[in-house]
Chain A
Amino acid sequence: MWARLINLALGIWLMAASSVLRYGEPARTNDYIVGPIAATFAIIAISEATRGVRWVNALLGVWLVLAPWVLGYDSAWLILHSSVIGIAMWIVTAVRGTITQDFGGGWSILWRRDPKRH
């Protein structure tokens, strides 16, 4: 739970960061897009049955580390800011959190062929 909440806070921070820290393009638009998506998947991953979607945030974390180089951020601290948040997203994604319920094998069995029947 706390890992998802930290992830959610990181997403909300990205939505607000450019106003608070007063930085401009291209980092601003990037963070306006990544922030809400990260917050969304953090919230969905709070539910145990959909805990797996947290890995979307690991991908977003990789992108936040790459974005300064791909999009050409012009200041060292902006590069650091994006990278630190990206790495933090990776770390909290790696924390699966407790799963107390059983889901009949989860989503993966939907794609598995049943060896007993065929």
Chain B
Amino acid sequence: MADELIPPGWSYNPASWAQRLPIVGLALLGFAIAGYLSLYQMGVFATVWEPFFGAGSRKILNSGVSRILPVPDAVLGALSYLADAVAGIIGGRARWRTMPWIVVLFGLAVGPLGAVSILLVVLQPVMFSAWCTLCLSSALVSVLMIGPAMDEVLASLQYLKRERDSGRSLWRAFWGLSDKRAQQQVSHVG
């Protein structure tokens, strides 16, 4: 029964809840950190927690770069974390083959969020000669999510490649439309 959830040639199911829930937990942690920083940037809190770098957090969070867009950068971060959490939750334990679109979306949300985080980490000392503890923590959280999220993306991409190689529609497979037949085949075999 559980075997049909494991991708061919894999030793485990990357879409199992044990694999996905820790990533969702990290995303919610990131959302909490970025949400707190957003509230500071929007003036809800007058001060920001900074145990190590003195005026660093204030300098970074009020910098020109943080206001380059219409909304403060932490707001975008918080929304990205929320998107990660939602994309991590949607779909069942076979979603690498029943819903490749959400898995690919999940990978696309987690990957670039990590890239932007690292860019912001590089900018802190180079442009402002300052560090911001919670900004670094948020970046760490987004980087921690990347590796654990990518195995599921790999399983989906391998599935899509198999579908295309066997002459079926890549488009239908991507949206999970060709999977009914695959499930029937599996149940016959089982």
Chain A 38-56, CB-CB to B under 8 Å as 1, else 0, gives 0110011111111000000
State which residues 95-145 of B face A: CB under 8 Å: 114, 118, 121-122, 125-126, 139-140, 143-144
Bound together, the chains give a CA A101 to CA B9 distance in angstroms of 10
> By the criterion CB–CB under 8 Å, are A104 and B121 in contact?
no
> CA–CA, A118 to B161, complex, Å?
13
Asked if A1 is an interface residue, CB under 8 A from chain B, the answer is: no
Q: Is B147 part of the contact surface with A, judged by Cβ < 8 Å?
A: yes
* B interface bracket (residues with beta carbon within 8 Å of A): 20 to 34
Nearest A residue (CB) for B150: A50
CB neighbours (8 Å) of A114 from chain B are 161, 165
Q: Pick the residue among B11, B118, B165, B167 that contacts A40 (CB under 8 A).
A: B118
Q: Which residues 14-40 of A sit at the B interface, judged by CB distance below 8 A?
A: 15, 29, 32-33, 36-37, 39-40
A46's nearest neighbour on chain B, judged by CB, is B147
Question: Which residue of A33, A102, A110 contacts B161 across the interface (Cβ within 8 Å)?
Answer: A110
B155 interface hit (Cβ, 8 Å)? yes
Q: Is B148 an interface residue (CB 8 A)?
A: yes
Question: Which residues on A are within 8 Å of B, measured CB to CB?
Answer: 15, 29, 32-33, 36-37, 39-40, 43-50, 100-107, 109-110, 114, 117-118
- Residues of chain B touching chain A, judged by Cβ–Cβ distance below 8 Å, are 7-12, 14, 114, 118, 121-122, 125-126, 139-140, 143-144, 146-148, 150-151, 154-155, 157-158, 161, 165-167
